[in-house]
Structures are given as structure tokens and as C-alpha cells.
């Protein structure tokens, strides 16, 4: 059908019709809020490159998590800033590590909030890389043992889900096997299946204090030029036991989100990363954009591309907007 027989604006003309034929919608249940837990007390340190986001000591993180949960956000994902760092990231898998203690505090104070933990080594190593260094690069297979120990320690502390983000080959199987062997076969695993070596992570590295002290992460994170490789990466993780797969970053990789949605029937997450967040905040502070409108348009773009879940620093803002209707 063509104009003038068909007129698209007939349906667009009334808000009620626009709502009735809307193809994608956003719910507060789609949201996961990333939070940064810092060793110490009385800490509420705003990240200079991420307005509104803070490093929080455990008691302050619990307070903010409670407020976010009251807005309807069902889950948080935790990143840790430990008391000390070493070459093997000991705090990552210590029983009294920063994340383990944060999990316990959250489950005690906000028991209905789902607690997801990032499983990686970069926040805990003094060199800032995601595993054990050998000959100037991360030793893949040696790192798997530490990642599995870290995931197990999170489960033992009460985590509801673990999310490996390191991009080591075989880490999903190593974690799944360790969890199952230790009685945690009920704990789901959300894999950062397609995580690209991106320039959009800069603000996060300030927040998590995880900037590599030498080199970069291109030997284990994906090349931004590659599309088909994402399918291979995701397929390996699915075969190794991932329950949810993720694409990171979000906006520059919506084609990858759609590819994975078309290929797999597992739940699909997307990470609306720090650089994406900070660009919106910077533009809004300069009066260049309508902040709320751009945030919600961004969220809908993830849903339209095929994501089921959205990890986003905008989660509290989105929840408030949705609550207003």
C-alpha cells in the first residue's frame, strides 16, 4: 500500500493509538543497577566522570540499594574497591573480601533485592589486568582457577547470580563446574559473552580503580571491528552453561545485540556502560539535550534491538520516570 491510500500518520495522530500499537516497552523489571563498594566507612565519593555515581562504603551502599529497591529495581550488580591489591587479586576470593562482606550486608538488610556479582580480577590486582600475568600477558588457564574461586566465594557469601566479565577462554565452564561441585548448582551465571575492548569504559576505570598499569586488554577482550566473532563467543558460553548472555558496551553494538537475539533463545542482557552514561550527563549539563527523553530513548533502543535485561547507571532515574507514568 502506498500514499494516499495508506497514511501512516492516521495511527500516529492520537496518543492512545500510539500506545496501543507500540512494538516495544520498558519495565522496571528489565533493570540492573551497577554499584561500587569501597573498603572503609563513611565513604560516599562521587566519580568525577560519572555525575551521580559514587564509590560507597558498605553501610552507604546498603542504604542506596534499599532506596533503589523501593523504586522497583529488582537487582544490583556489585564491583569492589578493596583495601589492598596484589599480583593475584587475593581480595577477590577472600572470605572477608569487600564484595563478600557487601553481599552479606545486602542480603541481611534488603533480602528481596537480587544481588549479582561481577567476577573478574582487574579491581583486585595491583597491575589492573583481569588475571595472573605471565610473560607480559594474562595467563588464561592459570586465571581460570582464581575466577572459579572468586565465583564460589560469592555464592558462599549469598550472591544470587554471578557474572564473569574477564573474557578468559573457558571461564564459564570452570565456574559452572566449581559451583555445581560445591552445591551451588542453583546459582545462575550471566556471562559477558561479547565484551569488546572499548574506549567507552574510561569512566568505569576511574570508578573501579581498575586501569591497567601497563598495556591494554585487547589480547582478551574483543576487537570492535568483529561481528561474527561475537556469535562464536556467545555460542561457547552457552555450551559451557551460561544462563544469560550479555553484550558490552551497548549503544555502539546494537547490531551485536540483534545478532545474538536472532541466534539464541536464552535471556539476553546489554550493558549501558559508563562512557555512554557520562556522555548523556555531560550533554545534559550543557543544555544540549533533553536528558530524560534521551535516557528513555536509549533504553528503548536496547529493547528494540532484542535485549531482555539492561545494566545501566541510569536505573534509578528510569525507575522514577516509569513510576510517574
Active site residues: 195, 248
Q: Which residue has the cell 598499569?
A: 213
**Strand 75-81 versus strand 133-134 pairing type:** unpaired
3-state SS of 250-264 is: CHHHHHHHHHHHHHC
Does the CA dihedral 145-139-230-74 come out positive or negative?
positive
Q: How far is CA 157 from the centre of its chain?
A: 20
The H or E element that residue 106 is part of is: helix 98-109
Q: Burial level of 93, CB count in 10 A (0-12/13-18/19+)?
A: buried
As a whole number of angstroms, the distance between CA 56 and CA 59 comes to: 8
Quick check: helix, strand or coil at residue 122? coil
**Closest C-alpha among 6, 78, 46, 29 to residue 303:** 29
As a whole number of angstroms, the distance between CA 56 and CA 267 comes to: 30
Q: What angle do CA 192, 195, 200 make, to 5 degrees?
A: 125
Amino acid at each position: 500500500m502506498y500514499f494516499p491510500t495508506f497514511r501512516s500518520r492516521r495511527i500516529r495522530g492520537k496518543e492512545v493509538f500510539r500506545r496501543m500499537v507500540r512494538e516495544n516497552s520498558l519495565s522496571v523489571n528489565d533493570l540492573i543497577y551497577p554499584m561500587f563498594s569501597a573498603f572503609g566507612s563513611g565513604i560516599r565519593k562521587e566519580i568525577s566522570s560519572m555525575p551521580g555515581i559514587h564509590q560507597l562504603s558498605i553501610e552507604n551502599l546498603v542504604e542506596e540499594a534499599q532506596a533503589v529497591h523501593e523504586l522497583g529495581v529488582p537487582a544490583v550488580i556489585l564491583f569492589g574497591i578493596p583495601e589492598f591489591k596484589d599480583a593475584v587479586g587475593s581480595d577477590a576470593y577472600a572470605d572477608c573480601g569487600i564484595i563478600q562482606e557487601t553481599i552479606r550486608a545486602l542480603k541481611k538488610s534488603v533480602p528481596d533485592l537480587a544481588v549479582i556479582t561481577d567476577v573478574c580480577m582487574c579491581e583486585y590486582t595491583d597491575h589492573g589486568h583481569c588475571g595472573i600475568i605471565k610473560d607480559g600477558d594474562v595467563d588464561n588457564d592459570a586465571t581460570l582457577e582464581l575466577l572459579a574461586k572468586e565465583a564460589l566465594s560469592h555464592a558462599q557469601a549469598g550472591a544470587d547470580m554471578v557474572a564473569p566479565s574477564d573474557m578468559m577462554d573457558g571461564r564459564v565452564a570452570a565456574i559452572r563446574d566449581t559451583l555445581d561441585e560445591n552445591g551451588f548448582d542453583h546459582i545462575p551465571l550471566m556471562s559477558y559473552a561479547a565484551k569488546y575492548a572499548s574506549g567507552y569504559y574510561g569512566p568505569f576505570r576511574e570508578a573501579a580503580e581498575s586501569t591497567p598499569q601497563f598495556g591494554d586488554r585487547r589480547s582478551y577482550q574483543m576487537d570492535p571491528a568483529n561481528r561474527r566473532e561475537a556469535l562464536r563467543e556467545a555460542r561457547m558460553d552457552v555450551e559451557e552453561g551460561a544462563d544469560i548472555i550479555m553484550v558490552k558496551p551497548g549503544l555502539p553494538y546494537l547490531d551485536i545485540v540483534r545478532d545474538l537475539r536472532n541466534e539464541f533463545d536464552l535471556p539476553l542482557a546489554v550493558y549501558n556502560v559508563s562512557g555512554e552514561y557520562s556522555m548523556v550527563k555531560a550533554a545534559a549539563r550543557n543544555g544540549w539535550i533533553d536528558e530524560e527523553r534521551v535516557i528513555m530513548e536509549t533504553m528503548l533502543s536496547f529493547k528494540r534491538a532484542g535485549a531482555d535485561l539492561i545494566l545501566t547507571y541510569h536505573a534509578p532515574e528510569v525507575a522514577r520516570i516509569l513510576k510517574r507514568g
